[in-house]
């Protein structure tokens, strides 16, 4: 039995191999991936890494081809030409996978894409080699606002209060329109009748504060748009439970 398990593991290692073609140069019939990373005030972000792989199936141990591994330049731009193989064109069994690495950015200054769950994206099939993938991304600068809750006295089991913020972050869907992501702040201690906390928002941008609460078993959701200035702020929001 041990020999059988060992043989299976060795077989899986051979099957689950990765071809690295990231250093290959495409001279004809090329597909292009290009785009830009920016933050508040249209400031470019350099050294954000972009990786593109092709996994030949969703099965465990499937072969993966590494295709693109580039960084954005001082202007925030990135670009790479690559060749799509015949068995990767169109409606094949595999998938293209995009991975963005922004771990070098300061956690104190930026709301990184990784924090919002954008480390990996899956593209639809690419039908022709003369395709250009235009991928622009917005990575917000981080700011903090204060949120105060008065009279938080749960009357029924399951009553709660939650603060969320929503703002532009991630992939540009269409010119000037970016995906929006939400960050949640946990509910306060149920033994306290006042809640005062720091909440993350996007600096120099329009945000939405979402207040969800269950009171006496009834759930309500209210949305409050706020404009957060660039730089420091003294925003304090107060809500009644």
pLDDT in tens, 184-217: 765 555 555 566 688 999 999 999 999 988 888 8
What's residue 17's pLDDT? 63
Say whether pLDDT at 220 is over 70: yes
CA distance linking residue 205 with residue 121, whole number of Å: 25
Pairing of strands 77-82, 18-20: unpaired
SS3 content of the chain, % helix, strand, coil (to 5): 10, 50, 40
- H helices of the chain, in order, are 2-15
Taking the C-alpha atoms of 72, 42, 106 and 80 in order, what is their torsion angle to the nearest 10 degrees?
Answer: -10
Q: Are strands 218-228 and 142-150 parallel, antiparallel or unpaired?
A: unpaired
Confidence class for position 149, pLDDT limits 50, 70, 90: confident
- Just give the CATH number of 142-240: 2.60.40
Between 81-90, 155-164, 191-200, the lowest mean confidence (pLDDT) is in 191-200
Given a cut of 50, is residue 66 above it in pLDDT? yes
pLDDT class for 122, splitting at 50, 70, 90?
Answer: low
Listed in order, the ranges of the chain carrying CATH 2.60.40.10 are 18-138
232 by DSSP, 3-state: which? coil
pLDDT above 80 (res 85): yes
pLDDT for residue 168: 94
* Residue 214, beta-bridge partner list: 160, 219
pTM assigned to the model? 0.83
Q: Which of 141, 77, 147 is nearest to 109 (CA)?
A: 141
pLDDT of residue 14: 44
Tens of pLDDT, residue by residue over 10-45, are 444 444 567 899 999 999 999 999 999 999 999 999
State residue 203's pLDDT score.
97
Residues 165 and 182: beta-carbon distance below 8 Å: yes
Query: Topology of domain 18-138, per CATH?
Result: Immunoglobulin-like (2.60.40)
């Amino acid at each position: 039995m041990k020999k059988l398990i060992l043989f299976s593991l060795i077989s899986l290692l051979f099957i689950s191999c990765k071809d690295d073609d990231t250093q290959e140069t495409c001279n004809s019939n090329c597909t292009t991936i290009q785009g830009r990373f920016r933050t508040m005030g249209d400031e470019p972000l350099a050294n954000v890494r972009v990786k593109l792989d092709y996994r030949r199936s969703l099965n465990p141990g499937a072969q993966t081809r590494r295709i693109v591994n580039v960084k954005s330049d001082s202007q925030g731009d990135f670009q790479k030409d690559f060749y799509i193989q015949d068995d990767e064109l169109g409606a094949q069994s595999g998938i293209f996978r995009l991975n963005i690495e922004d771990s070098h950015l300061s956690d104190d200054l930026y709301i990184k894409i990784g924090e919002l769950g954008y480390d990996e994206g899956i593209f639809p099939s690419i039908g022709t080699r003369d395709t250009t993938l235009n991928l622009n991304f917005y990575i917000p600068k981080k700011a903090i606002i204060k949120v105060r809750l008065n009279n938080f006295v749960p009357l029924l089991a399951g009553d709660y209060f939650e603060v969320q913020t929503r703002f532009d972050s991630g992939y540009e869907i269409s010119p000037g329109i970016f995906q929006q992501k939400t960050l949640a702040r946990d509910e306060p201690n149920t033994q306290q009748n006042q809640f005062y906390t720091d909440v993350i928002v996007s600096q120099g941008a329009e945000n939405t504060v979402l207040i969800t609460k269950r009171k006496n078993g009834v759930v309500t959701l209210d949305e409050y748009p706020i404009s957060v200035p660039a730089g420091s702020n003294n925003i304090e929001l107060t809500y009644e439970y």
